[in-house]
Structure 1
Amino acid sequence: MEKSASTVRSVSCDVCQRRSISKPATKWCPHCEDGLCTDCHEHHGASRSTANHHVIQIEDYHQFPSYVASVKHRCDIHKLEYEFYCTSHALPCCVDCTKEVHSTCMELKPLHDVVKNVKSSNHLHEIERNLSDIVDNIVKLTKEREENLSKLEVQKTKHVETIKHMREIINDHLDKIEGTVLEDLRRTHDASKVQIEDLIDKLNERKIKANSIQEEISLMKGAASNLQNFIGMRDLEKKVNEEGKTLVILQEDENFYNSDIHLNYSEILSSFTDKVSVFGDVLVQTSPRNLSLILGKRIQSQIVLPKVAGIEKIKMRLQQRIKLKNSKGFDISSCEILDHGKLLFLDWKHERLLTCNSDGSESRVVADFPGNGPFDITCISDDKIAVSARTSKIIILIEYATGKIIKKINVNGECFGIDHKDGKILVRLVNSGIFLLIDVAGKIISRVRFPGDRLRYLTWYMDKIYCTVTGQNTVICMNMKGSEIWTYRNVLLREPFGIATDTNGFVYVAGRASNNVVLIAPDGRSSRVILGGRDGINKPQALYISKFRRQLLVCDKYDGSSYLFDF
């Protein structure tokens, strides 16, 4: 479960503290936003003004997820209790807010009417049903994979018996080729087995995450206030929808097709043993699954699984040009789009992380990294960012809202490109010639060796690593063992830097010297220039694709210009 920041808060009674008395709190009042000791709780319940407040155990409050615990009952600006809800802005507001900020909003409703019965609302029930469907789907998919695994075992046994029978008929001549085909069979079976077991492990991870969300819902319904449930449902629904989308995308992978082991025997095997040079070919035939997923209407409406468009059909539509302003100038080495729409820019030259809205407004410095040499960023979540620092040879985890450093992970090497997936961080250590895979606590999971001191930017998608080799004008795709899958080199692309992939596996690369963004097909065999100088870009260095928002962010190196595209 995602823990609330409240877990680090003092558990003293807030009422007593205001009287310079120290007592442990046993209760929490969300309305007053105060911890209460036993005595103060009794007074709180007896007071006419607070008797109807919903008070909860302090332990329950500490277990709230952050998106629930962060919901306040009072306005941070005016310190007044929320009384209205603006449907236009999807925000609760106090009386003063309705006059100062929401005076022209037409959809102001009494907050009491909006949040009443929220715990028994159809919307929350639908979220719970969707999550329950996701868990059921995971169970079904796991069972199907296990049945396929059992079937492979039976088929393996059957073929082994056939092979041994034919071995007895043709005797000495098969001594040579029997071992070859058995090894081929074993290797093919084991490869399929490992593939299926990997998928089962991924499904178990999704199940654990779904169960965690179920626990959050139970806690919300049992202990959180109506307002906290109502506001929290947006984040909760987003997490559930994300799980649904992740599951659908996962099960559409061709690795989820049913596998069958077949052995094609030589036609002349039974007649002319002297002409047989191989025993047979072992292969795996895949067929579509018979199982259909059960998904809620809201998840289905957000999932579009069209046929993958050809490389010529992909088009970019400029949504916004952003111009960062600062007297120091810029050297943008990395950028990201957060799921809620905020933009991040890493200024390598001035060692700082910047943020702004998608229209360029409300820009600010999130954090400074003097002497660390920050190179690349990846978002662990909307409130946690990992920064690779090449000079100090560490990964810095910071809090987005405050810029506070959460953790420093020593990687003992100049770290450059960085990416994140499923609680794991992949970082390029140039001087060591390796990709280092670690968890967010800093524990090393594996090392992927691939030499090259100019191999710096990377992106990680579907168990493949894509990286740019600037000095060689090259893009490389490799598997998680460091085996090269394909290499791209073309006169269209010069000085490749930032790299990203979309949900269909197309690769987008920023060419600084060629002043363009080049789109490369998933197999690396075809490409085209998708953005160039005519689109306004000037020496692009950093780019990022939000698969959630279907947007591409491209950043020029020096002048603070960036471009947000829909596709």
Structure 2
Amino acid sequence: MQNVRKTIIIHLDKLEKDLLAKLDNEERKQCKNIDSLIEKISEMGKHVDQIENDLKQIKQHASDFQTFFGLHEWNKKIEKDEKVLMSLQSDKILDSADIHIEYSPILMKFETDVKEFGKLEVKSSSSQKNFLKKEKQGQIFVPISNTVDNIKMTSIRSFKTPDGISSNIFITGIGMFDDGKIVFADNQHLNKRLVIMNREGNFIKNIQLDDRCFDVAVIDKDTVASTLVEKKKIVIVDVNSSRVQRYILSSAECYGIIFSGEQLVVNLPKTIQFVDPSGNSWSTLSTVNNSMYCSVLDEKLYYTSHNSEAVYSTKLNGEVLWKYDCQKYDYPTSITNDASGNIFVACTESDRLVVLGNDGKTYKILRTKENGLQKPRALHYDPLSTADHSSYCFNFNDNLYYTTRSSDVHLAFASEFNGEVHWKFDNKKSVHLIGITNVASGGIFVAYKDRQPDATYYYTTILEQYFTYQPAFIDFDELQ
């Protein structure tokens, strides 16, 4: 803030210095004009005095003829002086000059219009470190960057959404609450509803809307936002009361919508717009082609264009970073990201789910029609599932010890900081390895939870101790 204030003061001092210099130059110019005018008028005054003196002499000594001839010469001189006087008037040299300063309007309104020094904004981004070195025992949670090659999909469950007014259901949007509840946007022209179910596929409730809803975004545990395409507006809904809190009008048909944590990001034809949930602070980003879905991660925007069969990555100012060309007739629609920046794309017409690397160069087909995928449209990535690709680690005697789990692999490792593995412990049990620490003698403790429903959670290595609640972090107290 001090730097900003100093910059403003320096800039204002420069503007003041420039204005004073202009004022000084203008003052000198006006003074020069006045001196020139005084000189000319003084010269004319001398001419008048000379004519008056000559007139007195003629009256005393000259004949009538000489007087007539003298008057003719005097008329010439008077006419010449009159022309000079007229030119002074036409050139506005005789006009009075007042110097006024008209201040810049922004300065005059500075006190009333500038009501805050700045806006405080906190932005967080995921760590890209693979491990951390720690001199004392204890574990650190470390996100592990996931690459396209090691991404695998395992089907957990499938379920059917209940019928609405029509048994024809057209799901074009999906969102997920932190507690695992799922909300679907049913875009069927008769249903016009949001469907809420739990993660096991049990129906909770319908929320009827006054128009077809295209997409839905979860704002918080009680609130969602949905796009009403034909009415060109966004509806904010309280899911507990099923009541509409407010509408946000749009300038055009609105399609995909996500919540970035601060703003709603909405797809419009040829543009993507940002607005806060109260409807303020609209900003617009132009897109290369029409898009219906987008995703935002780490100050980057990703969107699909079904018209050009492509996926685009851009900065938030619209500058295109890369373009990925899909196959012909893919018809890319919904798009989302994982924490590592990988991009998941639903290809509706080719019945495919594709993942792209964050550079837009590598890709992998995750699901096809052969896997039971049919016309995928709505896509959502649960950020809470990133724990499935995470590690807890500690450093002891310049060795790194860490746990990891991905799909059905649950391992504990000991390695050097260059990544060379000394040994690994393959846990054959169906459990999730979590926290890890050691004792001074080198013994290693690992916390894990049983994957079976309603099982007791415990940690083990040298001993097993059962707990009522799931352990996560472990630390060894050297003083006890």
| TM-score, L = length of structure 1 | 0.44
* 2:286 alignment partner in structure 1: 449
TM-superposed deviation, 1:536: 2.0
2:195 to 351, 354, 362: 354
Between Structure 1 and Structure 2, which shows a larger proportion of helix residues? 1
Partners of 1:332 and 1:346 within 8 A in 2:
yes
How far off its partner does 1:551 sit?
A: 9.8
User: Does the CA-based 8 Å contact 1:464-1:479 persist in structure 2?
Assistant: yes
How many angstroms does 1:361 deviate by? Answer: 1.1
Stretches of 4+ aligned residues off by more than 6 angstroms: none
Tell me the SS of whatever aligns to 1:415.
Answer: coil
Q: Mark the CA change 1:373 to 1:439 in structure 2 (over 3 Å): closer, same or farther.
A: same
Q: 2:157 aligns with which of 314, 320, 326?
A: 320
Letter in 1 for 2:256: G
Deviation at 1:420, TM superposition (A): 1.3
Structure 1 residues 380-436: Cα deviation after superposition (integer angstroms, max 9, x where no partner): 112110111111111110011221111111122111111112321111221xx3221
Equivalence for 2:168: 329
Aligned to 1:117: none
Secondary structure of the residue aligned to 2:279 is coil
Q: Any stretches of 5+ residues in structure 1 without a counterpart? A: 1-141, 147-200, 207-245, 255-287, 553-564
Aligned to 2:23: none
2 CA distance for matches of 1:540 and 1:566?
A: 23
2:223 aligned to which of 361, 371, 384: 384
> 1:472 aligned to 298, 308, 320, which one?
308
SS at match of 2:307: helix
Q: Which runs of 5+ in 2 are unaligned?
A: 4-117, 389-405, 409-480
Whether contact under 8 Å (1:498, 1:543) holds in the other structure is yes
Q: Do 1:428 and 1:436's aligned partners in 2 also have CA atoms closer than 8 Å?
A: yes
Describe the superposition over 1:286-330 as per-residue Cα deviations: whole angstroms up to 9, x where unpaired.
xx9x999x9xx8xx77x4412x23312111121111112315220
**Aligned partner of 2:143: which letter?**
L
Shift of 1:549: 2.9
Cα separation, partners in 2 of 1:523 and 1:324, compared to 1, 3 Å: same
2:260 to 421, 428, 441: 421
3-state secondary structure, aligned to 1:510: strand
Aligned residue for 1:368? 208
Answer yes or no: is 1:305 the counterpart of 2:146: no
Q: State whether residues 289 and 308 of structure 2, in contact with CA within 8 Å, keep that contact through their aligned partners in structure 1.
A: no
Higher CA-based Rg: 2
Aligned counterparts of 1:513 and 1:359: Cα–Cα separation in 2: 28
**Structure-2 change in CA distance of 1:345 and 1:439 (3 Å):** same
Residue identity over aligned pairs, in percent, reads 22
Amino acid at match of 2:318: G
In the TM superposition, residue 493 of structure 1 has moved relative to its aligned partner by: 7.2
Equivalent position SS for 1:317: coil
The offset of 1:547, in angstroms, is: 0.8
- Asked if the contact 1:417–1:427 (Cα under 8 Å) also holds between the matched residues in 2, the reply is yes
In structure 2, give the amino acid aligned to 1:358. R
Normalization by structure 2: what TM-score?
0.51
- 8 Å contact 1:397–1:406 — kept in the other structure? yes
Report the equivalent of 2:424.
Answer: none
How far apart in 1 are the matches of 2:376 and 2:250? Answer: 29
2:379 equivalent to 1:543: yes
CA offsets 1:216-251 (integer angstroms, 9 cap, x no match): xxxxxxxxxxxxxxxxxxxxxxxxxxxxxx85x44x
What whole-Å deviation, never above 9, does each CA across 1:322-342 have from its counterpart, x for those lacking one? 112315220000111211011
Tell me the number of residue pairs that the alignment of Structure 1 and Structure 2 aligns.
Answer: 271
What is the deviation of 1:542? 0.8
Deviations 1:333-363 (A, max 9, x none): 0111211011111111121100111111134
The answer to whether structure 1 residue 436 and structure 2 residue 273 are counterparts is yes
Give the whole-Å Cα distance in 1 for the aligned partners of 2:383 and 2:197: 19
Given residue 342 of structure 2, which amino acid in structure 1 is its aligned partner?
F
Question: Measured at CA, do residues 526 and 383 of structure 1 come closer, stay the same or move farther in structure 2, by a change above 3 Å?
Answer: same
